[in-house]
Chain A
Amino acid sequence: MSATAVHAHRRQRRHLTPARIGIYFFLLSAAAFFLMPLYIMLVTSVKTMDEIQLGNIFALPADFTIEPWETAWSSACTGVECNGIRGGFFNSVAIAIPSTIFPILLGAMNGYALSFWKPRGANLLFALLMMGAFIPVQVMMFPLVRIMATLGLFGSLPGIVLIHIVFSMPVMTLLFRNYYASIPQELFNAARIDGGGFFRIFIQLMLPMSTPIIIVAAIMQVTGVWNDYILGLVFAGRENLPMTVQLNNVINTTTGVRLYNVNMAATILTSLVPLTIYFVSGRWFVRGIAAGAVKG
C-alpha cells in the first residue's frame, strides 16, 4: 500500500516541467544535428543516381537499391584499379590486428615495470614518454620516413605496424601504469617472496588481472588504427593501403558523373568497424577515456 503510494508520488514528481521540456528540446536538437548527416548518408546510399539528381536529399528512397553498396565493396575505382574498397578493408584488418596486440603487450609491460619495479629514473622516463605524445606527428614524419627506409621497412606491413606501435606507446603506457598503480604493492611483494621474476609476475599474475584495462586498450587501439589516415598513406605502401586511404581514392576518382550513392556506401562501410565497437562497448570506451584522463 505505502509502496504504491510512494511510487505514485515519485511518478508525479517526474512530471514534465518547463525546465525538463527545455532540456529534452536541447538534447533532441543536438541529437538531430549529429544524426542528420548519417540519415542523409544512409538514404542516399540506397537511392539510384537518377533519384539523387532530383535533389531531394532528405526524401526516403523511392526506388530502393543495394547496388551502390555492392559497387562500393567490390567494383568502385580507386585510381586505376576498380576492385572496390574491400582490399582496403582486409589491409586495415591486417594492420589493426598486430597494431593492437603488440602495443597492448608492450604498454602493459611498460606500465608494469614503471609501477612495480620502479627502476631508477622511472619518473623521468615516463615524463619523456609522455612528452612524446605532445609532439605533432608532422614534425616526426620525414625523419621517420628516412629511418624506416634505412631499416628497409618503408612501405611494408611490418613498417606501418611498427609506426603504430611507436605512436601508441605513450597512451598505452599511461593507461596500464595508472591501472597498475591501483593494485597494492603488497601483492607484488608477495609474488616476489614467492620467487616470481619480472616476466613470471607479469604473465602469470598481472596480465590475468588486467582484463578490464586490456579491453579498454583494445577498443582505443582498434578504433585509433582503423581511423588513421596519414600514417597509413605515408608508411603502408601501395600494397597495404588501409581502408581510409582507399575510401579517399574512391571518392576522388571520378570518371564522368560523381557517384554519390557509391561514395556514401563506401564511407559507411569504412566507418562500420569503429561504429560497431562504439555501440557494443560504449561503457568500456567511456571507462577508457576516464582512465586515461584522471591521475597523472
Chain B
Amino acid sequence: MSNVSIRNLCIRYDENEIIKSLDLDVIESEFLVLLGPSGCGKSTLLHSIAGLIEVSDGTIAIGGQDMTWVDPSERNIGMVFQSYALYPTMSVERNMSFGLRIKGTPAAEVERRVQRAAEILHLQPLLKRKPSQLSGGQRQRVAIGRALVREAGVLLFDEPLSNLDAKLRTDLRRELKLLHKNLRSTMIYVTHDQVEAMTLATRIVVMRDGVIQQIGTPGDVYERPDNLFVAGFLGAPGMNFLSGSLASEGPSIAFASARMNIDVSAYAFRETPATGQPVVLGIRPEHIRIEKQGNPNGVISLIEPMGNHHVLWIDCNGTPLSAVVHDALELKADDPVRFTIDSTKVSLFGQAGERRL
C-alpha cells in the first residue's frame, strides 16, 4: 500500500500538450477513479504513473520515492489493461507467475502467491487453461490476478471493464469493489463510464483536455459540481441548465429568468454574489418535483419508462427539462403538468470560467 504524489506533470507529444502541469495526490488505500471523456488525458496520466509513457516535465512519486524515471517493473505497481493483455501462449498459472519468475522469486513463494490470488478471484479450476479457453470475464479476472500476485503498492486499472458485456461488467464491478474492501490496496482506475466511477470510487478525479476539473467523493462531484463541465458530464439524464441572472429582494436572493424565478437564499454561496450578474442554474432531474395540484407550468413532451423509474421530458415555454419520477404515473405525453424545483439542491455557475458560485 503506497500513496502516489504527482507534481507539475506535463506530457507533450510534438506540439500537443496532453497533460498540462498537473498536480495530484493519491492517498494510501483509496480507490481513485480518473473520469473524463475520451481524449481527456486520463489514460495518458495512468500510463505515465506506470512508466509506460515518458513525462516531459514534473515528478511522480510512489510510496514517497521519486519514480519519474524508474523502469515500469521497479515502480511497485500492478496493472490491468482493457484488452486483458494475457500472454496467449502461457497457461493462467504461468500468466500470473511470469513477473515473479523474471524477478527470481523462490518457487514456493510464487506458488503461494498464485494460489492466494486464484483463491481471491475464484480461478483455481482454471489455472491450467490457456487464455483462449477462457471467457471475457474469466480473462479479466486472470489479468487482475496477475496484478495481484505482484503484491504491489499501487494497482492501476485502464478501463478494465470496457470490453465486457453489460451483465458481466456489473458483476465484475462489484467484485472489484469487494476486492478493494478486503485488500485495502491503493487503486487508480481509469474509466469514461460514470456509473463505474460513482460506484467504485472513494474519490473521483474529473478531467478534461489534460486538466483536472474537480477532485472529490462521488457525492461531492455529483451534488456540488465545481463547474459546468463536471455538472454536465455526470448524471444520466444530464443536469438541466437554465440561464438567467441573480436578483436580490431585500435579504433574499433569487434566480430570475424569463421562464421562472427561484428563491436561492438557502444556497451555500462560496462568496457573496454580485446581484445582477448572469448565471446558469443547474438542477438534477431527480430534484424536479411533479406536483398534483397547482397551475401547470409545463407540458410533458415525452415519457421514457425505465422500469423502476420514469424520465419525464417537460417542455417549459420552449426549454426542455428532464425529471425523474419514481411513483406510479398517472400522466401521459402532452398532459400539462405542474412542477417545482427543489431550491436547496440547485447548483449555480457564474459566467467567468463557468465556475460554481
> Residues of A with Cβ closer than 8 Å to B?
184, 186-187, 189-196, 200, 204-205, 208-209
> Contact partner of B85 among A186, A195, A200, CB < 8 A?
A186
**Pairs A–B under 8 Å by Cβ, sample size 16:** A186-B85, A189-B47, A189-B50, A189-B72, A189-B81, A189-B85, A190-B87, A192-B52, A192-B72, A193-B73, A193-B99, A194-B102, A194-B146, A195-B102, A204-B98, A205-B87
| Distance in Å: Cβ of A291 to nearest Cβ of chain B | 19
Q: Mark B60-87, 1 if CB is under 8 A from A, else 0.
A: 0000000000011110011101110111
> Residues of B with Cβ closer than 8 Å to A?
47, 50-52, 71-74, 77-79, 81-83, 85-89, 98-99, 102-103, 143, 146, 150, 158
Contacts of A189 on B, CB cut-off 8 Å? 47, 50, 52, 72, 79, 81, 85
Known: A208-B89, A209-B88. A194 touches B52 (CB 8 A): no
Interface of A is mostly: helix
| Distance in Å: Cβ of B42 to nearest Cβ of chain A | 16
A155 to B89 alpha-carbon distance, docked (Å):
42
In the complex, residue of chain B having the shortest beta-carbon distance to the beta carbon of A207 = B89
Are A190 and B102 in contact, with the CB atoms below 8 A?
A: no
In the complex, residue of chain A having the shortest beta-carbon distance to the beta carbon of B98 = A194
| Distance in Å: Cβ of B315 to nearest Cβ of chain A | 47
Interface of B is mostly: mixed
CB within 8 Å: A-B pair count? 61
Contacts of A208 on B, CB cut-off 8 Å? 89
> Contact partner of A193 among B77, B86, B87, CB < 8 A?
B77
Query: 10 closest A-B pairs (Cβ-Cβ)?
Result: A194-B99, A195-B73, A186-B85, A190-B85, A208-B89, A186-B81, A195-B102, A187-B85, A193-B72, A192-B72
Are A209 and B103 in contact, with the CB atoms below 8 A?
A: no
In the complex, residue of chain B having the shortest beta-carbon distance to the beta carbon of A200 = B102
Contacts of B50 on A, CB cut-off 8 Å? 189, 193
A187 to B89 alpha-carbon distance, docked (Å):
12
Contacts of A187 on B, CB cut-off 8 Å? 83, 85-87
A258 to B146 alpha-carbon distance, docked (Å):
71
Contacts of A204 on B, CB cut-off 8 Å? 98
Contacts of A194 on B, CB cut-off 8 Å? 73, 98-99, 102, 146, 150
Are B73 and A192 in contact, with the CB atoms below 8 A?
A: yes
Contacts of B79 on A, CB cut-off 8 Å? 189-190, 193
| Distance in Å: Cβ of B75 to nearest Cβ of chain A | 8
A191 to B88 alpha-carbon distance, docked (Å):
12
A195 to B47 alpha-carbon distance, docked (Å):
16
A186 to B146 alpha-carbon distance, docked (Å):
14
In the complex, residue of chain B having the shortest beta-carbon distance to the beta carbon of A189 = B52
| Distance in Å: Cβ of A97 to nearest Cβ of chain B | 25
Contacts of B103 on A, CB cut-off 8 Å? 195
In the complex, residue of chain B having the shortest beta-carbon distance to the beta carbon of A211 = B89
A113 to B134 alpha-carbon distance, docked (Å):
30
> Contact partner of B83 among A186, A195, A196, CB < 8 A?
A186
A167 to B105 alpha-carbon distance, docked (Å):
43
A204 to B87 alpha-carbon distance, docked (Å):
10
In the complex, residue of chain B having the shortest beta-carbon distance to the beta carbon of A188 = B85
Contacts of A193 on B, CB cut-off 8 Å? 50, 52, 72-73, 77-79, 99
